[in-house]
Structure 1
Amino acid sequence: MATTRRRMHLGFTIWPTGFLPGAWRLPGSAPDGNSNPRLLQAAARTAERGKFDFFFIGDRVVGLTASQYAAPNEVLRPEALTFAANVAAVTERIGLITTVNTTYAEPYNVARALATIDHLSGGRIGLNVVTGKNEEAARNFGRNEHWDNTRRYDWATEFIEVLQRLWDSWEDDARISDTETGRFVDENRVHRIDYKGEFFSVTGPLNVERPVQGQIPLINAGASERSRELGARYSDLRFTNSSVLGLAGAIEYYSDLKSRLAAVGRSPEEQLVIPGIAVYTAPTSQEAHELYARLHGLAHRTVDLGKLSGALGLDLAGADPDAVLGDVADLTAASEEGTLIVAEARELWGKDDITLREVNSSFQRRGWFKEIVGSPTGIADVLEEWFDKRAADGFMIFPPHTPDGLDAFVDLVVPELQRRGLFRTEYEGHTLRDHLGLARPENRFAAERARHDAVAER
């Protein structure tokens, strides 16, 4: 009997100034990308043209100018819910995942906004839950301190519980709109939630009908134990940076996340694991490596020889940063980790004779997400291997520069994935749940009434 091949899921994350810190300096890029509606909307349409599952919008509630050289995209951020609503209006099929920092938000407002966007988009919104890492955020919201990890996750857990109850507070058929009787709603199908927890006391119901998707898909990231626990219980998609662990490490990470689901009554198919990957591609491998070198050359980066020496296990004190590494150090004396760092840098730069500056540049980006450089077939080979070996259910694509990096992936890599039968050629559904292969949940109040009626009939 023929079996249908498992299909890869792809998301595009919008970093308007580019994944690489100096990418906004490249001719054709948009330094004003975070406030440029033409670029932001065009990026969403391009991802939709590539049949991506979703367009991912990150958020941050602080703007730190000190981050401008390492992460300029974190200095300016459009508010994510507003951004998602805008993009929904100019797209038709692609899912839209927006971010909310639950530590500095109220669940009723968030539930209402997301349910509204879900209706306006035809069921395409998803929520990425973050608890925030920046201590500076507290002072933007009248607090004296940023809560510790335990309190933030306790708060986030209640936050999600309130959201899900509010989204169910209207049953699917609660609005009857009976023109004969003039009865607009069936009040027996609209419910107070009467939630009382440690942090929240919410009566409900919501004043927006149940979302098109029933429950809006939830996403979370993070490697801490609390993050993994929350993800196992609530998340439909886990966004990870497990790509930096290497293939073997990513397989182990994937297995750990999937193994946690049974304990909360879920199957492995009910949650997708999507690591981030930064992709540098061009028609040929040589051109892709030239792009990598050009973009890394635009970064504002000094070489800390002390830090690099420690990372490689070599004494590089006093060396010329532009000297070839092999000319100033005995690479056979490098530590095991240092040998791996050098090998990765050589692969990324596409040459053996890398300089200290070049290996340092790759090393400093190493902890973000795995970077891959190559032709469309070379990129597809890597993605296919990771996918087939169960290191991922798909990938969040980080183009190094915007908009050309996304265009290159859509025009070059996506057709190769489609040729291999790994990725869709057309959307088969209309909602984000459809794209992710997730069932629409039953309404909890309707289910309870059905159980009550069944018992009464016995």
Structure 2
Amino acid sequence: MPSPTRPLHLGFTIWPTGFHPGAWRLPGAPSDGNSNARLLRAAARTAERGTFDFFFIGDRVVGLPSSQFSAPNEVLRPEALTLAAHLAAVTDRIGLITTVNTTYAEPYAVARALATIDHLSDGRVGLNIVTGKNEEAARNFGRTEHWDNSRRYDWATEFVEVLRLLWDSWEDDARIADAATGRFVDERRVHRVDHRGEFFRVAGPLNVERPVQGQIPLVNAGASERSRQLGAAHADVRFTNSSVLGLEGARAYYRDLKGRLAAHGRAEDEQLIIPGVAVYVRPTSAEAHELYARVQRLTRPDVDLVRLSAALGLDLAGERPDAPLAEAADVATASDEGALIVAEARELYGREELTLREVEASFLRRGWFKELVGSPTEIADTLQRWHEEGAADGFMIFPPHMPDGLDAFVDLVVPELRRRGIFRTEYAGTTLRDHLGLPRPANRFAAERVAGVAR
């Protein structure tokens, strides 16, 4: 079991209209969050005030209006590299993890952009590698088909290898700027990479100096075997939805990911496992449960009783959507999975009596990330337990509504975590690597050059 004294890491992920699909309908909530520069800047500053390790920017390369009722943030999405560069200018310490879909990108351009942002942010950028799941993306990039999982991960693996070569193509002291001799660079310390692989032919060197962090920290997600392989070999952070597996399931998932590192010559503390959690917090438990119920009422009004019947193992045909569950069916006869669904819904709403509509609203959200509803103490209890019992190295926080959900977490939960002595009160370092507890790696070309000189 991991040591309870190890640091707790927190990331905030920006879903500008809120993680809950109906949250933008709350009175006063913004519906223009994806293009509202003021809101995006304020969110980054709030997360920095909470001393989060990083501000996480997801991305997609498709617009899907058909997703508007289940995931409106997938319909509109600001380009992630651009947003990271913008936020670097209005923050000072928080890390900025930005997303690139490698399936539809070229490594030289991405390496150049990220190295630039790392310099502009004084070493605070990170890269989330995704391979994309939407077939529609292919047609946005002149392709006739979206590659299968195997080909996407073959491409992504080589993509990462090229990134790392390019970031090392300048040694740290290559720019000498010797005014006396007029030499601007020491050419011996600037290297062609001459990569010739299955997918890429890249000569190098990069035309941006080595990043402040040496190598940009890498993040990846996904539960497929290829995703886990890529993560074990290259990721500094694994972002997971293992929170939906329950504590024991998340612990097993954690052990699986950590157990893969040794095969790549890596120690367990060289990678952080960060599950996502959606947090509804208010000063009291009753207020938090009322918030949850209020947001859930903003879900689309239709209720699929056929789907709910199958999920619960109960016959709900012909029942009114707003009928109490206890009147519509004998819950004691529900399937084991159905009983779990009902128990989870009762926990989230904070009461035993639920309508069919309420049960379905909870059921539809359960596959995303674990939802936590409660007072600051209750939320902190859960985060601390999962952290100390080896289910997570930290958490990605998904506020269900913006900006109030983020404000509430920073103003209510963060002080409680600090009071317990398990979360920082201020930043100790200046770079994202510092926040994550990762050392700055040596330059491979410098090591080879020094070894060559010695020989």
User: What TM-score, normalized to structure 1?
Assistant: 0.98
Say if 1:376 and 1:412, in contact at 8 Å, map to a contact too. yes
Residue matched to 1:85: 85
Residue matched to 2:303: 303
1:451 Cα shift?
A: 2.6
Matched, 1:320 2:315: no
Whole-angstrom distance in 1 between the partners of 2:26 and 2:229:
41
C-alpha distance after superposition, 1:93-151 (max 9, x if no partner): 00000000000001000000000000000000000000000000000000000000000
Residue matched to 2:166: 166
Say if 1:214 and 1:441, in contact at 8 Å, map to a contact too. yes
What aligned pairs does 1:26-425 form with structure 2 within 5 A after superposition?
26-425=26-425
Whole-angstrom distance in 2 between the partners of 1:309 and 1:62:
34
1:301 Cα shift?
A: 4.4
Whole-angstrom distance in 1 between the partners of 2:248 and 2:309:
26
Whole-angstrom distance in 1 between the partners of 2:372 and 2:445:
48
Whole-angstrom distance in 1 between the partners of 2:5 and 2:156:
37
Question: How many positions carry a matched residue from both structures?
Answer: 453
Say if 1:280 and 1:371, in contact at 8 Å, map to a contact too. yes
Whole-angstrom distance in 2 between the partners of 1:246 and 1:5:
23
C-alpha distance after superposition, 1:357-413 (max 9, x if no partner): 001000000110000100000000010110011100000000000000000000000
Whole-angstrom distance in 1 between the partners of 2:229 and 2:326:
45
C-alpha distance after superposition, 1:168-207 (max 9, x if no partner): 0000000000011110000000000000011100000000
Say if 2:4 and 2:387, in contact at 8 Å, map to a contact too. no
Say if 2:13 and 2:398, in contact at 8 Å, map to a contact too. yes
Is the partner of 1:142 in helix, strand or coil? coil
1:27 Cα shift?
A: 1.6
Where in structure 2 are there 5+ consecutive unaligned residues? none
Where in structure 1 are there 5+ consecutive unaligned residues? none
Give the fraction of aligned pairs with identical amino acids, expressed as a percent.
Answer: 76
Whole-angstrom distance in 2 between the partners of 1:365 and 1:94:
29
Whole-angstrom distance in 2 between the partners of 1:448 and 1:439:
20
Residue range with higher mean Cα deviation, 237-246 or 325-334: 325-334
Say if 1:177 and 1:185, in contact at 8 Å, map to a contact too. yes
Whole-angstrom distance in 2 between the partners of 1:106 and 1:386:
38
Say if 2:4 and 2:388, in contact at 8 Å, map to a contact too. no
Whole-angstrom distance in 2 between the partners of 1:416 and 1:4:
17
Whole-angstrom distance in 2 between the partners of 1:132 and 1:300:
27
Is the partner of 1:275 in helix, strand or coil? strand
Is the partner of 2:321 in helix, strand or coil? coil
C-alpha distance after superposition, 1:269-320 (max 9, x if no partner): 0000000000000000000011001111112242111111111111111111
Say if 1:301 and 1:361, in contact at 8 Å, map to a contact too. no
Is the partner of 1:213 in helix, strand or coil? coil
Amino acid aligned to 1:227? S
Say if 2:377 and 2:416, in contact at 8 Å, map to a contact too. yes
Amino acid aligned to 1:270? E
Whole-angstrom distance in 2 between the partners of 1:56 and 1:159:
21
1:4 Cα shift?
A: 8.5
Say if 1:51 and 1:425, in contact at 8 Å, map to a contact too. yes
Is the partner of 2:317 in helix, strand or coil? coil
Amino acid aligned to 2:453? D
Residue matched to 1:449: 449
1:453 Cα shift?
A: 3.5
CA RMSD of aligned residues (A): 0.9
Whole-angstrom distance in 2 between the partners of 1:304 and 1:126:
41
Whole-angstrom distance in 2 between the partners of 1:365 and 1:274:
19
1:450 Cα shift?
A: 2.6
Whole-angstrom distance in 2 between the partners of 1:209 and 1:300:
51
Say if 1:240 and 1:274, in contact at 8 Å, map to a contact too. yes
Amino acid aligned to 1:18? G
Whole-angstrom distance in 2 between the partners of 1:363 and 1:24:
20
Say if 1:56 and 1:97, in contact at 8 Å, map to a contact too. yes
Taking structure 1 as reference, are residues 4 and 173 closer, same or farther at Cα in structure 2, changes over 3 Å only? Answer: farther
Residue matched to 2:426: 426
User: What TM-score, normalized to structure 2?
Assistant: 0.99
Say if 1:222 and 1:240, in contact at 8 Å, map to a contact too. yes
Whole-angstrom distance in 2 between the partners of 1:184 and 1:142:
42
Amino acid aligned to 2:17? T
Whole-angstrom distance in 1 between the partners of 2:369 and 2:275:
8
Amino acid aligned to 2:244? V
Is the partner of 1:450 in helix, strand or coil? helix
Is the partner of 1:222 in helix, strand or coil? coil
C-alpha distance after superposition, 1:406-432 (max 9, x if no partner): 000000000000011110000000000
Whole-angstrom distance in 1 between the partners of 2:436 and 2:292:
32
C-alpha distance after superposition, 1:209-258 (max 9, x if no partner): 00000000000000000000000000000000000111110000000000
Say if 2:221 and 2:238, in contact at 8 Å, map to a contact too. yes
Is the partner of 1:215 in helix, strand or coil? coil
Is the partner of 1:433 in helix, strand or coil? helix
Say if 1:345 and 1:359, in contact at 8 Å, map to a contact too. yes
Amino acid aligned to 1:287? E
